[in-house]
Amino acid sequence: MSPSARRSLTAAGALALAALVPTAPTAQAAAAPQLVIDTDFPDPDVVVADGELWAYATNSSAGGNVQTASAASPEGPWTRQADALPELGDWARTGLTWAPEVAAQPDGTYVMYYTARDTASERQCIGTAVSDTPGGPFTPVGEGPLVCPADEGGAIDATTFTDDDGTPYLLYKNDGNAVGVDTWIYLQQLTPDGLSFAGDRVELLKQDRPEEGGLIEAPTLVKRDGDYVLFYSAGFYGDGSYFTGYATAPALTGPFTKSDEPLMNTDNTGIVGPGGQDVIPGKDGDWLAFHGVLSEDPLVRGMYVTPLRWDGSTPSVD
């Protein structure tokens, strides 16, 4: 199952980065989501660095491990850049590098969390790599993957979140649908350098609705109006059943309550299978980056952006 990413800019980071991102259109000027990368660029993660946006995506048939593109604003134009992760860790084999997440560190460096095939377990697992610049090249670190629960299907779709007190966390999904078990979105505290864990994992949310197709994935966590808002994707990633939902909680570890209706699906956006989302905080409003299916055979998923609006802690893209 392809991952989604995701990935969140942090509550604290949003304040620091807000002035660097162009403003979102007003509600009166709302427009349909814009296709900004019209070639295969699935599971986009977007970070802001020195006023520039950097996007990272799942590998594609074009080659390389981590697709990368840059732009001055969410609406682009986006320029393709070199493979951000030319070499994988020794534990991984090439060809299945999914849903990268890049997070800026307090010392000015960047950590990438990438999903790849673990040669020992033959499951998808999450590893780490570091770089002094957002464009890389990133260098793998560690003798093995950071997280790899092989008996639970492995782990995919890493994303980061930093709480108001500065504590960093990693969210990820066990790839349970690969082995016929529940798919949980987990939260686990990171060490200050982002390269190892400082606490046990906590279950946040799992699949429990028919329309989810037996899985949820691609977590993105933000904090708005005192609540924690967890975006996720569900359904089959390769067709119109894929959608983006969200759940809210008054505390970081939950309990999270899913919304009654999806944030985005094929019917309410006109985009086939919108998912793999990431939130880009802006000066006067947030943006949402996500992918949509441009072709099912061969599978091509392009990158879209749209303003993300809030009514308290309730998001919308209308």
| Residues contacting 248, CB < 8 A, separation 6+ | 227, 228, 229, 230, 256, 257, 259, 313, 314
DSSP state of 19: G
Among 45, 152, 217, 286, the active-site one is: 217
Torsion angle, alpha carbons of 58, 62, 67, 72, to 10: -130
**What is the Cβ-side half-sphere exposure of residue 174, based on CA atoms within 13 angstroms?**
23
CA dihedral 81, 106, 92, 236 (to 10 degrees): -70
E-assigned strand segments in 32-154: 34-37, 45-49, 52-57, 67-71, 79-81, 92-104, 110-118, 124-131, 139-141
Q: Which two tokens stand for residue 128?
A: 């780490």
203 in active site: no
217 catalytic residue (yes or no) = yes
Residues 6+ apart with CB under 8 A from 239: 272, 273, 293, 296
CA 286 to CA 284: how far, in whole Å? 7
Residues 6+ apart with CB under 8 A from 71: 36, 52, 53, 55, 77, 78, 79
Catalytic residue among 43, 152, 157, 278: 43
Structure tokens at 209: 């609705």
Q: Which two tokens stand for residue 170?
A: 């990693």
Catalytic residue IDs: 43, 217
